[in-house]
């Protein structure tokens, strides 16, 4: 049997996005020399991030906007003034 296309479900099948997200957030915090994010920070970030991905999928925001806006509100709500 020959196949023209093979599709993989990457979302949490091939890639562990939550683990990657945790690693990325921890790495950023370490880069700025501040304590790793707590569970409340991560929960807020994930809520905001999901809302922005929904907006992106609807065409309401660009990918560039999503990348900035996913982190910026959470950082500001926690009073972290490391945003450049």
Tokens, residue 80: 């972290």
Which residues touch 53 (CB under 8 Å, ≥6 apart)? 66
* pLDDT tens per residue, range 5-14: 988 877 777 8
Model confidence at 83: pLDDT above 60: no
Contact of 42 with 25, CB cutoff 8 Å: yes
* pLDDT tens per residue, range 16-41: 888 888 898 888 888 878 777 788 88
Beta-bridged to residue 15, according to DSSP, are 11
| Section 52-66 average pLDDT | 93
DSSP string, 51-81: HHHHHHHTTSS-HHHHHHHTTHHHHHHTT--
């Amino acid at each position: 049997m020959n196949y023209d296309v093979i599709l993989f479900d990457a979302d949490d099948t091939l890639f562990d996005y939550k683990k990657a997200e945790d690693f990325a957030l921890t790495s950023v915090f370490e880069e700025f020399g501040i304590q790793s994010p707590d569970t409340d920070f991560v929960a807020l970030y994930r809520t905001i991030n999901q809302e922005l991905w929904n907006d992106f999928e609807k065409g309401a925001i660009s990918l560039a906007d999503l990348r900035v806006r996913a982190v910026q509100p959470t950082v500001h709500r926690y009073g972290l003034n490391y945003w450049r």
